[in-house]
Structure 1
Amino acid sequence: MSRFAFALALAPTAILAQEAPFRLALPIDCTPGEDCVIQNYVDADPGPEAADFTCGPLSYDTHKGTDFRLPTIARQREGVDVLAAAPGVVLGLRDEMPDILQGWDARRSLEGRDCGNGVTISHEGGWETQYCHMARGSIAVAQGDRVEAGTRLGAVGLSGQSQFPHLHLSVRKDGEEIDPFDPEDTATCGDAAPADTLWEAPLAYLPGGLLDAGFAAGVPDWFDIQAGEVVAEITTDTPLVLWGYAFGGREGDVMRLTVTGPDGVVVDNEVLLDKTQAQLFRASGRRAPEGGWTDGSYEGRIA
C-alpha cells in the first residue's frame, strides 16, 4: 500500500472591502421640471464672475450649493417636504428664524445665519449634507438622530438669505464643498451633466423656463406674482393682460405672449430680454374694444 505525503501552503489573502460610492437621493418632495426647478447651481467660476457647471448663468459668485426652488410662495405655503438625501446622523439644526424673503420690509439682520433654519447631516466617508432656508417650526428631527435617505427633515421655507422659496443643499467631503453635478470637477462648457454625478437618478439640466402664468385686468404687481396671488378680475370692459413669470432669462432671449379669443388673435407680442435675469416677468395685453369683449373663451400661450 502506497502512501503519499503532500503539503498545501496557504498564503494569507487580504480581502479589501470596496467603499460604496456616496450617492444622493432627491432632497425635496417635488418633481424637477414639473412643480419645482433648480434655480442655482454651485459656482464653477474661480474668479469674480459666476457660472454653473455647464458655463451657463444659473449661479452667482461664491454660491456653494444647489437651489431647488418652488414656483411661488403660495406653493411653499401649501407645504413641501425636505428629505434626507442619504443615510447619516443629524449633526445640528436651527428652527427659530422667521420666514421673510430678502426685500420684505420686516427683514432683520441675519448676523451670519444666511442658511436660515436648517439641518446638517454627517454621512460615512467624511461626507456632509446641509439643508437651508427651511420653514420655522417645521424641523422634524433632533440632534443625534439617525436618518435614512428619504427621512422627512422638515419643510421648504423662506428663512435666511433667500429671495424665493427654495431648499439650498450643500454637499461637503472632508470639509470641502462639492458640486453634486460635477464632483470630480471635469465638466466642460455645454455638458448637460458629467457622466459621473452624485445623484442616484439623473437630474436634467433645465436652462430656464416658465414658473407661472395667467390673465389679469392690468399689469400685475411683482410681489403678487412672486406670491402666486395674482387675481384675474377680468370683465367685459377691463383690459385683458397675459403675463408670464420665468427663471433663467438670458440677454437676447425672446418671450412670446399670444392671446386668442372668439374673434381671433387678440395679442401676439414678442418681448426681447435686454439683460440676463435669474427671475423675471413680462406682460402684454389690450384695452377692451368698443362695446366690450365678445363672450366666449380666451386662451393664452407663452413661449
Structure 2
Amino acid sequence: MIRPLALLTLALATPAGAFDFAQPIACTLGTDCHVQNYFDRDPGAGTADVGCGNLTYNGHDGTDFALPSLAAMQAGVDVLAAAPGTVRGIRDGMPDIAISDPAAPPLDGRDCGNGVAIDHGDGWETQYCHMKQGSIRVRTGDRVETGQPLGLVGLSGNTEFPHLHLTIRKDGTELDPFAPEPATACGTVPPDTLWSAPLAYDPFGFTGAGFFTAVPEWDAIKAGLDSPATLPTDAPALVLWASYFGPRQGDELTLAITGPQGEVIRQTIPIDRTQAIAFRAVGKRTPQGGWPAGSYSGEIALTRNGVELGRQGVMLTVE
C-alpha cells in the first residue's frame, strides 16, 4: 500500500471555456496507484515536473497513472473517460509486455500501445495509452460520458510498467492538466488546473513493503510479492523490504525490525542516486535457537532534507 505523507494539492479553478477532466483511472491515488511521471515543463533538454521534481522525462507530454504491480494489472483496473465526448479512434491487439523484454514485438510507431482517443469538441481531445490487450470496450463513433469505462490498464506499447498514460490536447497542443498555462513556474500553486476535483502532486511514495526470508528479486516485487502473515521460528532469515517511487540523491531511507525481545535491526541508508523507482532491503540470519515466537513489526521511512516524506509499516507473526 502506498501511504504518501507529503502532498501538495494543485486544483483551484478551471480556465474559462475549458473542460473539467476527471481522474481517468479507477483507483485511489496514494493507496493503490500513483502518478509515476508528470508532464515535462522544461521546454529545453532538461526536465522538471509541476513540483520542480524528477518525476518526468524529457518531452513527456502527459500524465502516467501507475499501478504498484503486475498483479494489480492482472486483477483489472478500469480506464475511465475523463470527460464526455465522441470516440475518435481506438487500437487493440498489442500484447502486454515490457518494451525491454526480448520477446516484445517492434512498435512500428505504435508507442501508445492499445488505446482510445476521444474528441470533446471545441478543439479538446484526450488520448489513453498502454491499455490491456483485448480490454477496450468502446468503438470509433461511440458517445461516452465522464467516468464511463473504456477498457483496462495494461502494459502495451512503449512502456516498462503497468500504467495509463493520459494526454490532454487543446487545438493539437499538449497541456499539463496540473498547470495548463505554460508560463506557470514549477513549484508554485497554479491559478488554475484542468482537473474537476483536486489531484495531489506527490514527490515520493511507497509502492510495497513486506517481510521475506531472503532479499527478494526485483522482478518478484514488480510482479506483486506478498508479505507473509506468519513465518516459522527456523526461517533462514528475517528480511524487511520496501519498494518506492521518486527517490532522490541525498534522501535517507530507514528500515527497522522490532520483535518480542526488542529491536532486531535498524539501518539508515543514504540514497546515492535519483531514480524513478527502486527497492531496498535489510535483514538478519536466524540466530542460534531460532527466532523468538511472537509479533514482529517492520517500519520504513524516507526523509528528504530532514523532512519525512513517507512511512510504511508491516506486521509478521513468528510461530
Fold match by TM threshold 0.5 = yes
Paired position in structure 2 for 1:171: 168
Larger Cα Rg: Structure 1 or Structure 2?
1
- Alpha-carbon offset, residue 20 of structure 1: 4.1
Equivalent runs, 1:264-283 vs 2, <5 Å: 264-283=262-281
SS at match of 2:221: helix
Letter in 2 for 1:111: D
Question: Is residue 89–residue 144 contact of structure 1 (8 Å, CA) maintained in 2?
Answer: yes
Identity %: 57
Match of 1:235? 232
Residue identity in the other structure for 1:287: R
- RMSD (Å), alpha carbons: 1.4
Counterpart in the other structure of 2:91? 94
**Distance in 2 (alpha carbons) for counterparts of 1:225 and 1:59:** 22
**Residue aligning to 1:69:** 66
Residues 1-303 of structure 1 mapped to structure 2, 5 A cutoff: 20-191=17-188, 193-229=189-225, 232=228, 234-237=231-234, 238-303=236-301
| Offset at residue 71 of structure 1 (A) | 0.8
Matched residue type, 1:288: T
Opposite residue 109 of structure 2, the aligned amino acid is G
1: CA distance, partners of 2:80 / 2:251: 35
In structure 2, the gaps of 5 or more residues are 1-15, 302-319
Instruction: Give, in whole Å, the separation in 2 of the partners of 1:244 and 1:54.
Output: 24
* Residue equivalent to 1:14: none
Does the Cα contact within 8 Å between 2:66 and 2:163 map onto a contact in 1? yes
Shift of 1:114: 0.7
Deviation at 1:297, TM superposition (A): 1.0
Shift of 1:164: 1.1
Q: CA deviation at 1:199?
A: 0.2
Q: Distance in 2 between matches of 1:20 and 1:230?
A: 47
SS of 1:229's equivalent in the other structure is coil
User: 1:264 Cα deviation (Å)?
Assistant: 0.5
Structure 2 length-normalised TM: 0.86
Distance 1:190 1:198 in 2: 17
Contact in 1 for aligned 2:85/2:120 (Cα 8 Å) = yes
User: Could you tell me how far apart the structure 2 residues matched to 1:292 and 1:30 are?
Assistant: 41
Q: Secondary structure at the match of 1:63?
A: coil
Structure-1 separation of matches of 2:239 and 2:141: 53
Which structure has greater strand proportion?
Answer: 2
TM-score, structure 1 as length reference: 0.91
Stretches of structure 1 that go unaligned for 5 or more consecutive residues are 1-18
